[in-house]
Amino acid sequence: TEASETIYDYEGYPDYDLHEETYRSLGISRSSYEAAAHHYCIALEPGINRETMETLASIVEEERRLSLSELPGKIREMAAFFLDRHLSYTDRPLNLLVYCCYVLFFLCGIISGKKKALRDILFLGFARMVIWAYLIFYGRLPSRVSQSVYLAELTVLLAIAFGNKIWSLHTTDGKKSMRGTLRPRLCSAFWALTILLLTVVCFRFGFPKAKAAAWEASSRLQFSQSFADIKEYFHAHPDNFYYLDMNSFGSFTEDALQSAGEYDNFLYMGSWIPHSPWYDAKFERCGISDPAAALFESPDVFAVFMNTEGISYDYLEDFYRENYPGVSLKVIDTIDVSNELQFLILKGYRDENE
């Protein structure tokens, strides 16, 4: 839903301490909030539903409204983010290509006397500033859309340049409006300089980044064998059902949605699919009516975490400690896979004294 998009893709969950009464009224405990807000674990908490998302999105909308006294601070914050983003390496070489085109095409337009080209470039520059202001003010995560914005800008800039032939002098009634040989030479020189700079930028930043991207893709492909191994483990135990931690399996999305004839005995504790009809149908097929309780009530339901320094199942322990008193988690098995990685198989148990 649009509310879920606002919370998960852009704004994040409102602070629990500031809105504890609202969260409690929605049935969301602090540990449920921590699991959802910081670990994307929402499948085990029935209180995180459409009503909850819409309520939290309305809080976000209310907090976004600025008073007049807050406006200068917001403008400074936006300006700092804008400069930091544009000076970063993240969008190179596209951002450098666009900057070069703006400057050199504008100078070519001045020298050639192409007023229409100058107007179009200025309008495009204004439009891009409006887009960036919207992205930053509304928290639309520029990292997700900036490459597309730069590609669109570059395309429009090239269309303006070639459409207006900014490398040639403006003509009136078939005669050049500017005589002499200096200006035509300057037009040609700036056009050649533009081509040269664009080529340098591509070689200096584009090709190294493409090489780095190819290396990253190759590494990911090699790393993916670890997930293929753990998936084979799941399939080797078809009577079991596994909950997958999103921090451990965020990139493990192969066959997330299968045809009716296929079936995988695992589900992600996060992503966009929890609380959907597809999840409900899969739980029903496994005989699970309460996903959270099944981890300690059913002997065949387990949670899986990658055993690395940066990943912890503490949040899940906190979730059960607060929402299901007397339930604790234990590691019952460790699975060694490719690339010297290891996965932990966890099971919930009720304390004997309870």
**pLDDT tops 60 at residue 186:** yes
**pLDDT tops 90 at residue 251:** no
**pLDDT tops 70 at residue 228:** yes
pLDDT of residue 182: 57
pLDDT of residue 177: 46
Tokens of 154: 């570059």
**pLDDT, tens digit, 9 for 90 and up, residues 62-113:** 777 655 566 677 778 778 877 877 777 777 778 888 888 888 888 888 888 8
* Sign of the Cα pseudo-torsion (330, 39, 231, 309, in order): negative
Exposure string over 93-119, b if 16+ CB within 10 A, otherwise e: bbbbbbebbbebbbbbbebbbbeebbe
Nearest to 270 by CA among 30, 24, 15, 32: 32
Q: Which of 179-183, 268-272, 301-305, 346-350 has the lowest mean pLDDT?
A: 179-183
Nearest to 183 by CA among 233, 110, 91: 110
Residue 13 DSSP symbol: P
